[in-house]
Chains A and B, each alone.
Chain A
Amino acid sequence: MNIAWKEISKNKVKFTILGSIIFLVSFLTFIISGLSNGLSQDNAALIKDLPNGQFYMNADANEKYSLSRIDDDVQATLLKEHKDATTMSIQMGFVNDTDDKQYSVAFVTSTDSKLFPTVAPGEIVLDRSLEKDGIKVGDILTNNQFSGEFKVKGFVDQQKYSHAPVAFISMINYQEIYRVLEMQLVFVPGQDTAQDIASLQAFSNKEFLNTIPSYSAEQMSLNMIIWFLVAISGMLFAIFFYMMNVQKIGLYGILKALGVKTSRLFGMMWYQMIVITVIALGLSVALSQGFAMIAPEGMPFSLTLATTIQLSVLFLVIGFVGATLSGLQIKKVEPLQAIQQGEV
């Protein structure tokens, strides 16, 4: 007989209240996580969406790519050794349309690579967010440090850097705008271990992301919020199951007196924890995905399936640990004490 389910169905209000607390906390965590991931994408999708590999910049650039200038010979050697490698440079800037409306962009240029769109001199490929701002293929854009004009060649999805849309331009145009001939970075995709190259410092994708000052500070704050929420959820789980178990001490005692195994009482508690948590998580996953669809235009929100599953599993583990810790008192329940306390 499934007495755990019988109790849930007879005490719907009590279990609904408990479930709603779990739902609210997990929903809040999913939303904050979605916003955090959204901001992260908005800040560094250009880098995050690259395959795993190694970034190289000048060792004396103080881990700031904007100060890095890679020597031509070193660059040529690396490109020769690794046929998929590419050199790239990133600088914040702006473009103007024919109505002189200004758009902030992150100019990115690279050597030929399948990782980035190919652009010829005078062409520009933009992140699709600028298409929503009214820019169309074929439009003419200018920059006050560039003598020519850019013709919009097309748009790419999810290419953001430092919360600005990315603008891919040719190396020649980039060199003219920023008066620099050397490239800032070499990226070798698929390289697991960094190569020891004199005068260069290597970074994995994750390490490179952390060299972007705004990214690391922002992510640290958001991750701290998420982990605090997860920790608070764990404590809430434990407290609520503890309160529920305290209320049921008499019942547990009577069931023990009748001969019910302690393991079955734990099973009853775990079953109830899993049922409540799974229903609450199911609702919060559905609602947070719904939120992703109705989130205001421009609000960075990204809740991937992987993050959803990770957080859901984490909540189940926390619920299980919280319920088990609070349920340790079941072991201590004396049937005799429960009988002497009167009606359950």
Chain B
Amino acid sequence: MTIFTIDEVTKTFTNGEVEEQVLKGINLSLKEGEITALVGASGSGKSTILTIAAGLQRASGGEILFEGKNMADMSQEDIRKIRASEFGFVFQSSHLVPFLTVEEQLLLMLDVSETTMSKRVQKEEVAKTLKLVDMHHRKDAYPASLSGGEKQRVAIARAIIHKPKMLFADEPTASLDSKRSKDVMVLIRELTKTLNITTLMVTHDEEMLVYADHVITMKDGLIL
């Protein structure tokens, strides 16, 4: 079932008097439980479309429909609420909060998503999710003591702890070596399938495309 639709989305950046159109009418449909990978050369507009879809920046034109509602018409506060409760993010860098332990990173995300779970259930949920990403043994560790791969696994756990409907991943394996990249992609695929999450991912690593259900290639602001 289609949960997310991008319809004729454009994006224009203005630099002084110079206008640059980086997205020239993008159409995309994302289905539940599937991974869609966006690939393309640098400057093709793949990260721009991902961040617009994730509600991190506004489109210049077109519609972004999440569960039938147009995000382009929503207020910043409504988009924030969606980001907090319905979306999960995995970035190129893990972007963990440096003064929180692994367990606290996930508890914070539950807190932000305004969960109705009791404290005890929250802790149980965190433990379960950390086991899913094989990081339960490091639950009391701070980000500074984690390896790159471990940090990214925690970032994935944080992205799914609140059971989002959408997962946005921007180059999630860019800072990892080949083996850890594969481990992370296996994990994202497993979680997408088992939790029925809809994943939109940007990557420049062709080896990672085998884990995607759909691959969309972009060039000069258009889908090929």
Q: Is A1 a contact of B108 with CB atoms below 8 Å?
A: yes
Known: A1-B111, A336-B56, A342-B93. A6 touches B83 (CB 8 A): no
In the complex, residue of chain B having the shortest beta-carbon distance to the beta carbon of A335: B56
CB-CB nearest in chain A for B113: A259
The interface-forming segment of A71-79, A88-96, A249-257 is A249-257
User: In this assembly, does A82 line the interface, its C-beta being within 8 Å of a C-beta of chain B?
Assistant: no
Interface pair B107/A1, CB less than 8 Å apart: yes
Chief secondary structure at chain A's binding surface: helix
A191 to B17, CA, bound (A): 73
- B83 / chain A contacts, CB cutoff of 8 Å: 257-259
Chain B residues in 8 Å Cβ range of A180: none
The residue on B at minimum CB distance from A250 is B95
A339 touches B91 (CB 8 A): yes
Find the A residue at minimum CB distance from B142: A10
Q: Does B4 belong to the interface (CB within 8 Å)?
A: no
- Does B109 sit within 8 A of A, measured CB to CB? yes
Chain A residue at smallest Cβ distance from B52: A336
CB of B108 within 8 A of CB of A339, answer no
Q: For chains A and B in complex, what number of residue pairs have CB atoms within 8 angstroms? A: 64
Q: Could you tell me the distance in whole angstroms from the C-beta of A19 to the nearest C-beta in chain B?
A: 17
A144 to chain B, nearest CB (A): 76
Which residues of B are found within 8 Å of A98, using beta-carbon distances? none
Looking at the complex, which one of B89, B93, B96, B142 makes contact with A257 (CB distance below 8 Å)? B89
Whether A343 and B95, one on each chain, are in contact in the complex, defined by CB atoms closer than 8 angstroms, is yes
The residue of chain A having its C-beta at the shortest distance from the C-beta of B82 within the complex is A259
Q: Is B138 at the interface (CB under 8 A from chain A)?
A: no
Q: Are A6 and B100 in contact (CB under 8 A)?
A: yes
Tell me if A343 and B112 are in contact (CB < 8 A).
no
Q: Which residues of A contact B158 (CB under 8 A)?
A: 258
Cβ proximity bits A1-38 to B, threshold 8 Å, 1 near / 0 not? 10100110111000000000000000000000000000
A261 part of interface (Cβ distance < 8 Å): yes
Specify which chain B residues have a CB less than 8 angstroms from the CB of A251 in the assembled complex: 97-98
